Amino acid sequence: MALTRLLLSNFRNISHADFALDTGVNLFCGANGSGKTSLLEAVHMLATGRSFRSRQHKSVIQHDSGGLTVFAQLDTGFNLGVERLADGGGRVRINQATADSSSQLASCLPLQLINSDSFSALDGGPGVRRRLLDWTVFHVEHIFAQEWKNYQIALRQRNALLRRGKIDADVIGVWEDQLAQSGERVDTLRQASFAQLKASVASLLAELPKSLLGQVEMSYRRGWRKELQLGRALSESREGDLAQGHTRTGPHRADVRFTVAGEPAHNILSRGQQKMLVCAMRTAMAELVCRHREKPVFLVDDLPAELDESNQQLFAHWVSRCASQVLVTGIEEGTTSRPWRQLASPWNCPKVFHVEHGNISAEASAAQ
């Protein structure tokens, strides 16, 4: 699936923009602070309901304006709209109907993002990596969203009881049964996707020249002891959980680890190697999703940062295999477009946009 038209108003320094996008490559070039990242942020908001830079909608809304809107038409026939108001209000619409969860947006617009925060997949907490795995499972297995929701409802209830300090074994037992059932199913779905991601990442990394990247090991930790059923693990940890006031075991503590010779990968790999590992993971996620449904859209903020030319070219090649469309930002048109121009048609004819003080204008025709 691809975005065919994008409309923004009052989104950071972009007061108004309305333009058509190509399938394949769309390049947004401009000086520092011109609004390139804001544009990617707006597309991300359409797919998730939120910014990737700020938890506060207010900081994204243009100063002195009452609210922002982002609207897109997709080639699948869907229209997506997000409105955020300075007074805290807002709404999300899909084809004129109000959407009540951000997972409805995500399901209409599967999106992959590569930016300077992507390193947190390696040096950040387990939650970042768990979300990467869950993005994949969500798009591959339709029952995952409901199972995960059931799990979280039961988790909230158990935690509320633990916080009260005094627990009735029968009452907590009911929630532990639900946690155990949905938790085991969440884990089974995650394990199936993880096995495929691991194989894909290994084969993508094998396309790179020989280096320590070839020794990266990926492992999945499900969040509770291997030898136990989840129900048993929960009842065994009840005492300790009570002392801590929360549930310390279960799939909400799962992790995906990247190691090299037993060490966390970010302690060993160079910055460029780390970025290629993250690019391989993101590509593997997209490859897996496009085996089951339509190809995702990629957002790539400043690809040349940390990557030499051959790595940029390899990543562009990966994206062309598993994406329907890519929105790429860069300062200079020449360097930003170079990795894409060596690909086969139509990926070698980017649509070029110039971004200047929040104004976005398309070049009359794509330069060759």
Q: Which of 1, 2, 12, 145 binds ligand ATP (CB under 6 A)?
A: 12
**62 sits near ligand ATP (criterion: CB under 6 A):** yes
Both tokens of 172, joined, read 């907590």
Binding residues with ligand ATP: total (CB under 6 A): 15
In whole angstroms, the minimum distance from the beta carbon of 357 to ligand ATP comes to: 8
Tokens 């798009």 locate to 139
Is residue 118 a contact residue for ligand ATP (CB under 6 A)? no
Q: Please identify which residue in 35, 49, 81, 251 interacts with ligand ATP, judged by CB under 6 A.
A: 35
- CA 102-106-109 angle, to 5 degrees, is 140
Q: For residues 244 and 279, is the Cβ–Cβ distance under 8 A?
A: no
Annotated binding residue at 159? no
The span of 32-40, 96-104, 172-180, 186-194 binding ligand ATP (CB under 6 A) equals 32-40
| Minimum CB–partner distance for residue 32 and ligand ATP (Å) | 3
Is 36 a binding residue for ligand ATP by CB under 6 A? The answer is yes
Instruction: Decide if residue 63 touches ligand ATP (CB under 6 A).
Output: yes
Specify the stretch interacting with ligand ATP by CB under 6 A; choose among 34-42, 174-182, 259-267, 283-291. Answer: 34-42
User: The sheet that has 67-74: what strands, in order across it?
Assistant: 14-20, 3-11, 67-74, 79-85, 90-94, 97-98
Classify residue 45 by its DSSP letter. H
d(CA 323, CA 76) in angstroms, rounded, equals 15
Q: Is 35 annotated as a binding residue?
A: yes
33 lines the binding site for ligand ATP (CB under 6 A): yes
* 37 in a labelled binding site: yes
Kindly list the distances between the CA atom of residue 105 and the CA atoms of 58, 93, 99, 195, 261, in Å, as whole numbers in the listed order: 21, 9, 8, 27, 40
Alpha-carbon torsion (138, 143, 145, 149), positive or negative: negative
SS3 365: coil
- Of the pair 35, 296, the CB lying nearest ligand ATP is at 35
Do 74 and 108 contact (CB within 8 A), yes or no? Answer: yes
Min separation Cβ 250 and ligand ATP, Å? 38
Q: Which is nearer to ligand ATP, 187 or 333 (CB)?
A: 333
Q: Give contact residues for ligand ATP (rule: CB under 6 A).
A: 12-13, 30, 32-38, 59, 61-63, 331
Q: Which residues are annotated as a binding site?
A: 30-37
